[in-house]
Copies of this chain bind each other. A is one copy, B any other.
Amino acid sequence: MHEVNDLRRLTLFSELSETEAEMLKRFVSVKKYRKGEIIFLDTEPYSGFYGILEGMVKIYKISNEGREHILHLEYSGSTFGEVPMFENMSSDFEGGLTYPANATALEETTTVVLVPMKPFLEFLKSNNNVCLKMLSAFAKRMRFLNSHIESITLDDVSKRLSRYLLKELEKKGRKSSDSDIELEITKYDLASHLGTILETLSRAFRKLHNEGIIEVKGKTISVLDVKGLRRYQK
């Protein structure tokens, strides 16, 4: 279904000209994964970054005790695994590059493109445009990481949850105006993303429910009191 022709579906490449996209096409390759399949591990040698044409991917780390923490959830249109590409440029680089985290497909049909390092770096040199776009994408991700750290170190679990729900509301907000949130991931994954575990997340949902702020019905969260939610994380 999705082909190399869809390259411009990726935000990073959305403004490429026809000829530029053609150049890219020559060296990228399309791959498909099923739910739960691993795209790369943080131990693997680096070959290039990925862009999502369809589906959803989680980027995560695992502790020695086996606990998992999800750093990012990436959706169709976005890219991941770009970081190492720019690390062989810094003077203090030594040894082989690896991916910074693990990546696994979350949806049954997840289609990605692999953009290999060397040809892409060449491509970048003559495409200041894409360079700037990439900086913009990095900036966005850093802002996200900052606020993620902030929330993990300074907020308790219910606050983190309310923060997450508000962000989801904002996302939906652009499309529809009702205040129902449909969780796109399992609560296990959500817990891992919020830096906690399933049981604790469950109790946080209950707490917000008891305060009359939300209603939980499976994967559907109805926000009854947006102001309350906003007040909550302050």
Instruction: Render A132-146 as a binary contact track against B, CB cut-off 8 A, 1 for contact.
Output: 111111111111011
Q: Check A136 against B61 for contact (C-beta < 8 Å).
A: no
Which B-chain residue is minimally distant from A88 (CB atoms)?
B136
- Is the CB of A228 closer than 8 A to any CB of chain B? no
Inter-chain CA distance A87–B136, complex, in Å, is 6
Which B-chain residue is minimally distant from A141 (CB atoms)?
B142
Q: How far is the CB of A54 from chain B (nearest CB, A)?
A: 21
Which B-chain residue is minimally distant from A59 (CB atoms)?
B146
Q: How far is the CB of A118 from chain B (nearest CB, A)?
A: 14
Residues of B close to A147: CB separation below 8 A? 100
Residues of B close to A145: CB separation below 8 A? 142, 145-146, 149
Inter-chain CA distance A89–B195, complex, in Å, is 31
Q: Check A136 against B86 for contact (C-beta < 8 Å).
A: yes
Q: How many copies of the polypeptide does the oligomer hold?
A: 2
Which B-chain residue is minimally distant from A145 (CB atoms)?
B145
Q: How far is the CB of A42 from chain B (nearest CB, A)?
A: 10
Find residues 1-48 in chain A having any chain B CB closer than 8 Å to their own CB: none
- Is the CB of A209 closer than 8 A to any CB of chain B? no
Partner of A64, one of B100, B152, B234: B234
* A-B contact list, 29 entries, CB within 8 Å: A61-B149, A61-B153, A61-B154, A63-B155, A65-B154, A69-B149, A83-B139, A83-B143, A86-B132, A87-B139, A89-B133, A89-B136, A90-B137, A90-B139, A90-B140, A100-B147, A124-B132, A128-B128, A131-B131, A131-B132, A134-B135, A138-B138, A141-B142, A142-B142, A142-B145, A145-B149, A149-B152, A152-B153, A152-B195
